Amino acid sequence: MKKTHGPWTLAHATAATALALFLVSPPSPLLAQTVPGIVVGAAEIGGVVTGAGGPEAGAWVIAETTDLPTKFAKIVVTDDSGRFMIPDMPKAKYKVWVRGYGLVDSPKVDGEPGQTLNLRAVIFTSLVLCVTGSRMGM
Please check whether residue 14 lies inside any domain of the structure. no
Q: What is residue 127's predicted lDDT score, i.e. its pLDDT?
A: 64
Instruction: CATH number of the domain at 113, please.
Output: 2.60.40.1120
**Cα distance between the two ends of the chain:** 13
Q: What is residue 24's predicted lDDT score, i.e. its pLDDT?
A: 43
Residue-number span of the structural domain to which 87 is assigned: 28-123
Q: Please, which residues bridge with residue 122 across strands?
A: 104
Please check whether residue 85 lies inside any domain of the structure. yes
Q: What is residue 67's predicted lDDT score, i.e. its pLDDT?
A: 97
Q: What is residue 131's predicted lDDT score, i.e. its pLDDT?
A: 65
Tell me how many domains the chain contains.
Answer: 1
In the structure, how many helices (H) and strands (E) does the chain have?
1, 11
pLDDT at 40 over 60: yes
Please check whether residue 19 lies inside any domain of the structure. no
Band of residue 124 on the pLDDT scale cut at 50, 70, 90: confident
Query: Model's pTM, two decimal places?
Result: 0.67
3-state SS, residue 17: helix
Residue 40's alpha-carbon distances to 36, 43, 48, 85, 88, in angstroms, are 11, 8, 12, 8, 11
pLDDT at 70 over 60: yes
pLDDT at 22 over 60: no
Please check whether residue 130 lies inside any domain of the structure. no
